[in-house]
Amino acid sequence: MSTATTSERIGFIGVGLMGHGMAKNIVEKGYPLTVMAHRNRAPVEDLLRRGASEASSPAEIAAASTVVFICVTGSPEVEAIVRGPNGLKQGLKPGSVVVDCSTADPVSSMAIAAELAEMGVDFVDAPLSRTPKEAWEGALDTMVGASDEVFARLKPVLDTWAGRVIHIGGPGDGHRMKLLNNFIAMGYAALYSEALTLAQKVGITPERFDSVIRGGRMDCGFYQTFMRWTLEQDRDAHKFTLRNAFKDMRYLESMADAVGLANPMGNAVKNSYALAVAAGGADDYVPMLSTAVARANGVTLTPKKG
């Protein structure tokens, strides 16, 4: 364990799949840490054993912290944490910083930023890329929306859990860039799913399809992760739910609407996830979109060996 040379006291709300590993790295690298439980106490108990303290509400976290991280599902949850009964606004002090690591609607984020600014509190968006494995290893990617001054203040803390810290712009730009990043990723998944289904319909198995794409110009890391479900039935290859993918594509649509952009590709991607969620697949993971698209078209993608 290293000792952080800082006076920052860190609060962390949302110690789930990603947040647990992030918080573990913060406390193990010497920062005083306060956390709170939601439904699952196991991550909190683990963090307490590592030296963290526990609070019972966002307001209590805010009162104990100079920097508060939020890592939850999306904007409705963030808004409740900030504005709700015993929310962060009840305990934040001037000079504090709130860092939202969720994938959120930038319109909501900017409204929260304006409210907190009136209190003398800075709002930073630092959404994440990569997986819980990298969160545990301290090797996540984060795209940060913050002023230069606040970014410089936060950088040592972000470095505890991120291998790539990219200052993308001012407040809100992190969430905007994250939605663009997820649009590309979720778009790939929708494209692969439809291509695999069409291939099967015309008699080309997933293995034969993969033998052409893998190692060629159309190959990429995301493709390889995605195909681990279709080829190997590895359910945990990419633990990001269809429900969350659908949510992110709705946020992308909101961002496009706010600037009057026609986004037919974005809407097509969003509808792929809408159909899969409506068919009962909300808690399936993104690579399993291929199964949902195939099922809707009356085929199965179970690979045939030999």
Q: How far is Cα 216 from Cα 211, in angstroms, rounded to an integer? A: 9
CA 302 from centroid of its chain's CA atoms: 29
| pLDDT (mean) for 274-300 | 97
Selecting among 24, 29, 89, 178, the annotated active-site residue is 178
Q: Would you place residue 304 in the very low, low, confident or very high pLDDT band (cuts 50, 70, 90)?
A: low
CA distances from 233 to 193, 214, 227, 303 (A): 15, 18, 9, 10
Q: Catalytic: 305?
A: no
| pLDDT (mean) for 124-131 | 93
pLDDT surpasses 50 at 1: no
pLDDT surpasses 70 at 306: no
Q: Are strands 33-36 and 53-54 parallel, antiparallel or unpaired?
A: parallel
| pLDDT (mean) for 253-282 | 97
Task: Please give the domain boundaries of the chain with CATH numbers for all domains.
Answer: 10-170 (3.40.50.720), 177-296 (1.10.1040.10)
Q: How far is Cα 37 from Cα 246, in angstroms, rounded to an integer? A: 26
Q: Would you place residue 39 in the very low, low, confident or very high pLDDT band (cuts 50, 70, 90)?
A: confident
Reported as a single tens digit per residue, the pLDDT across 175-218 is 999 999 999 999 999 999 999 999 999 999 999 999 999 999 99
Q: Are 12 and 37 in contact (CB under 8 A)?
A: no
Minimal CA–CA distance to 177: which of 128, 117, 234?
A: 128
Check residue 130 and give its pLDDT: 86
- pTM to 2 decimals? 0.88
Check residue 302 and give its pLDDT: 78
